Amino acid sequence: MEGNWYNSNYEKDKEKIDQAESIMVNTISETMDLYGVTPSVGRLYGMMYFKHQPITLDEMKEALGMSKPSMSTSVRKLQDINIVQKVWQKGSRRDSFIAEKNFFNYFSQFFGMKWEREVEMFLASIRKAQEQLNEVIENSEADETLRERAKLDYQQLDDALIYYHWLEKLTKLTKSGEIYKYIPVEDPDKGE
């Protein structure tokens, strides 16, 4: 009788844990989708987040039912944004991977890389665009209406530069972890 009670409670508890993990994997997948990571890649990260030891591609494939090439591509994408790392396991020839568990590290890596790319693209484009606009502004033979339009565009891009220089600073603070000096990490269970 005691064995049946134990098995019954074990199954109930296991089901609760599985449901809790499933809720979070779906949420992780959906929120990563908001930031340009496909839901399947987000689901993979979510599943890996709840693995408490390194996992191989074959184990990932079995857990999610994806093809091995698709799984490999997804893992590579997660490695590219530095939230999954390849780890060495003694006695195994297969590649094993582990997910970043610290959301602050994840935040710093993911957003740092995205913002850095945005800043680089916009600053380069603004410089090129302002060079073109300046040629029209300085051309005394240009139509006055076009010169005025070029001046307005140039000023608008100058205003955008303020934002992108600010974002560049934020990116550096985020990637270096210095942002946590200004916005400290607080444990809600410890008060304040």
Which of 51, 81, 100 is the last residue in one of the domains?
Answer: 100
pLDDT at 111: 85
Together in a domain, 76 and 110: no
Together in a domain, 31 and 67: yes
Residue with tokens 């991977």: 97
The rounded radius of gyration (Å) of the Cα atoms in the chain is 25
Which of 55, 81, 100 is the last residue in one of the domains?
Answer: 100
Task: Read off the pLDDT of each residue in 37-61 and give the average, rounded to a whole number.
Answer: 92
- Of the given ranges (36-40, 68-72, 184-188), which has the lowest mean pLDDT? 184-188
pLDDT in tens, 23-43: 999 999 998 887 788 999 999
Together in a domain, 121 and 173: yes
pLDDT at 160: 96
Together in a domain, 140 and 164: yes
Top pLDDT among 8 and 18 is at: 18
Q: What is the extent of the structural domain holding 152?
A: 104-190
pLDDT at 157: 97
Together in a domain, 91 and 112: no
Together in a domain, 160 and 182: yes
- 191 sits in the region (left: phi over 0; alpha: psi -120 to 50; else beta) called left
CA distances from 172 to 33, 114, 127, 184, 186 (A): 24, 12, 21, 17, 22
Share of the chain above pLDDT 90, in %: 62
User: Is residue 185 over pLDDT 60?
Assistant: yes
Instruction: Provide the CATH number for the domain around residue 33.
Output: 1.10.10.10
Domains in the chain: how many in total? 2
Together in a domain, 6 and 44: yes
Which of 100, 127, 144 is the last residue in one of the domains?
Answer: 100
Together in a domain, 163 and 90: no
User: Is residue 47 over pLDDT 90?
Assistant: yes
* Averaged confidence pLDDT in the chain: 89
pLDDT at 2: 55
Could you tell me the pLDDT band of residue 5, with boundaries at 50, 70 and 90?
low
Together in a domain, 70 and 111: no
pTM score over 0.85: no
Together in a domain, 12 and 96: yes
Together in a domain, 66 and 38: yes
Could you tell me the pLDDT band of residue 13, with boundaries at 50, 70 and 90?
very high
Together in a domain, 37 and 127: no
pLDDT at 106: 80
DSSP string, the chain: -HHHHHHHHHHHHHHHHHHHHHHHHHHHHHHHHHTT--HHHHHHHHHHHT-SS-EEHHHHHHHH---HHHHHHHHHHHHHTTSEEEE--TT--S-EEEE---HHHHHHHHHHHHHHHHHHHHHHHHHHHHHHHHHHHH-TTS-HHHHHHHHHHHHHHHHHHHHHHHHHHHHHHHHHTTHHHHS----GGG--
